[in-house]
Structure 1
Amino acid sequence: MLQAPVVRRLPQLFSMIAVATGIQFIGAAQANPGGVPALYATKAEAEAAAKKHFNCTGAHQMGNQWMPCTTHGQSSSTTQHKH
């Protein structure tokens, strides 16, 4: 069971987590508007983008989506990417 001092700090902890999460979402939404997407619905789309925009080959799965290049961070392109 949680002790009283810890319980009193929970609202502050939850507020800090909410602020940090909000900052991440805002940053992700504004990071590189108009850039080349880095996540694709299909492996074929990611492989095509790998050749066209990322100067690599293949694709790798990231959750339910696909990213260009055989491994994460393989790209040697100077194109800006939108995650």
Structure 2
Amino acid sequence: MLMLVVSWTLNLFWLGLNYFWRLVSVEVLLAIPVLLLLYALLALVAYVYWGVRQVQEEEAPYANVMVGAIVAVTLLYFNFNLLQYVLQALEP
């Protein structure tokens, strides 16, 4: 979970660097938050799937599923807000 947050932070830093210095095209700047949003959605599905599977097979506590889902939903929320911010910044 820590690596998800670190990866998101580094991607956000890279996006900010490229946006303010205009090193890449607008399409790439828009594609990064979209890809991060898809990544967060995939993480949510994976956390729930593997967490429920672990609960069923190993009788693990449901707290693991909840923690993973909360982290994934938080990343989904941050990525959605980032996408809205980038779309507003790109408007003329």
Q: Shorter-chain-normalised TM-score: which range?
A: 0.3 to 0.5
Given the two structures, how large is their TM-score scaled by the length of structure 2? 0.34
Given the two structures, how large is their TM-score scaled by the length of structure 1? 0.37
Q: Which has the higher contact order (CA 8 A, sep 6+)?
A: 2
Give the structure with the higher percent strand.
1
Specify the structure having the higher radius of gyration (Cα).
1
